[in-house]
Amino acid sequence: MNDGANNKDRKCEIWAIGGGKGGTGKSFITSGIGTYLASKGGRVVLIDADLGGANLHTFLGVSKPINSLTDFFEKKASLKDIIVNCGVSDMRLISGAVGSLDSENIKYAQKLKFFKQIKTIDTDYILIDLGAGSHNNTIDAFLLADKMIIVTVPEITALENMYHFIKNVFFRKLKMTLGAHGMKDIIQDVWKSRETHGIKSLKDLIEYLRGSSIHVREILEKEMKNFKIHIILNQIRSSREIQIGMSVKSVCMKFLGFDARYAGYIEYDDCVLQCINKRQMFILTYPFSHITKAIGKLSENIIDGKQVSANKDEYAYRKI
């Protein structure tokens, strides 16, 4: 789904922001990246796909829009009809404010229709803000993206949930990829009998599958090559914690066995919460703050596929 080939003729790029744990700053970062991209002349549509607790509009400082995904899922409105303006020029919002529904109750057909309509929105960037948890609907929305971004914080619980989330994402992608080639059950079967094959981790599984047949190996090489996760480390409280992002990236590559980039980090600041509570947009209220700059820098890194470079990053000298 995110293999680029399908999306070649569309110039619109989908970014999905997930990460498994709630409260790590996904919505804050989504609104920040959106504002940054809009300020650079891109047209942006934000989609609040955190159906259980949608409040992206609060981060944007606007009141709960009248139209939301409720109308899409329950009243059969089209996505285009529920896009609202949100105070930043060139940035629009599809609110997720859903009362009765959460992401687990969405039917398969509705989900497909949702994904199909997302791809028809006329804009340059679509940012999908995902909820916490690793439900299949969340994962599928994540896999829809051209740029898969995870937000985590330097806390062990957040890291646990994040690993769980990206493992599920990767597993589902594998299943979908092999399923598309008529080998839907192969992973399930191998995974069930993993002990007999000596498979202990996701990386072992990939290696086993690679070795199982040339056909499978070719598919994996072709389809999984583009699987790349962009990591954002939020709420760091000391410059030492910058390295945690590098370490997470290293573990993703060495242990989980897929490509990861450390897009950037954002430091902790009480001002962020104050802004949110006052329903002011942080990035517009403090345009010259380190946080605003960091959001710009990490957005650029995501666009260019670059990352925070180890040890010689200029920021590393800054005392936080």
Partner 1 sequence: MPIEKYNKYFEALELNQGATQSDVRNAYLYLKALYSNDSIVTSALAYEFSEEKKQSILEEIEDAYARLTEFFESRSDEPVCKEKPSFAGEDEVKEYISGIASFDGASLKQIREKLRVTLKDMAVFTKVRRQYFEDIELERFSALPAEVYLRGYIMEYARYLSLDPVKVADDYMQRYRSDIKAKDKQY
Which residues contact partner 1 by CB under 8 A?
Answer: 154-156, 159-160, 162-163, 200-201, 243-244, 246-251, 253-255, 310-312, 314-315, 317-319
Q: How far from the centroid of its chain's Cα atoms is residue 250's Cα? A: 19
- Smallest distance, Å, CB 165 to partner 1? 12
Asked if 33 contacts 45 with a C-beta cutoff of 8 angstroms, the reply is no
- Smallest distance, Å, CB 230 to partner 1? 15
Nearer to partner 1, 127 or 244 (CB): 244
- Smallest distance, Å, CB 151 to partner 1? 15
- Smallest distance, Å, CB 204 to partner 1? 9
DSSP label at residue 179: H
Q: Which of 96, 91, 186, 205 is nearest to 141 (CA)?
A: 96
Nearer to partner 1, 8 or 254 (CB): 254
Residue 187 structure tokens: 């992973």
DSSP label at residue 256: I
- Smallest distance, Å, CB 283 to partner 1? 20
Work out the end-to-end distance of the chain between its first and last CA atoms, rounded to an integer number of angstroms. Answer: 40
Nearer to partner 1, 109 or 156 (CB): 156
Asked if 13 contacts 146 with a C-beta cutoff of 8 angstroms, the reply is yes
- Smallest distance, Å, CB 247 to partner 1? 4
Nearer to partner 1, 77 or 253 (CB): 253
* Spatial CB neighbours of 270, under 8 Å, sequence gap ≥ 6: none
Q: Which of 18, 5, 13 is nearest to 232 (CA)?
A: 18
Nearer to partner 1, 157 or 274 (CB): 157
Nearer to partner 1, 138 or 243 (CB): 243
Nearer to partner 1, 64 or 318 (CB): 318
* Rounded Cα gap, residues 220 and 43, in angstroms: 34
- Smallest distance, Å, CB 108 to partner 1? 31
Nearer to partner 1, 135 or 249 (CB): 249
Q: What is the DSSP track for 188-247?
A: HHHHHTHHHHT--SHHHHHHHHHHH-HHHHHHHHHHSTT-EEEEEEEEE-SGGGHHHHHH
Asked if 24 contacts 156 with a C-beta cutoff of 8 angstroms, the reply is no
Q: Which of 301, 316, 214, 303 is nearest to 263 (CA)?
A: 301
Nearer to partner 1, 103 or 235 (CB): 235
β-bridge mates for residue 49, sequence order = 130
- Smallest distance, Å, CB 142 to partner 1? 20
β-bridge mates for residue 307, sequence order = none
- Smallest distance, Å, CB 239 to partner 1? 9
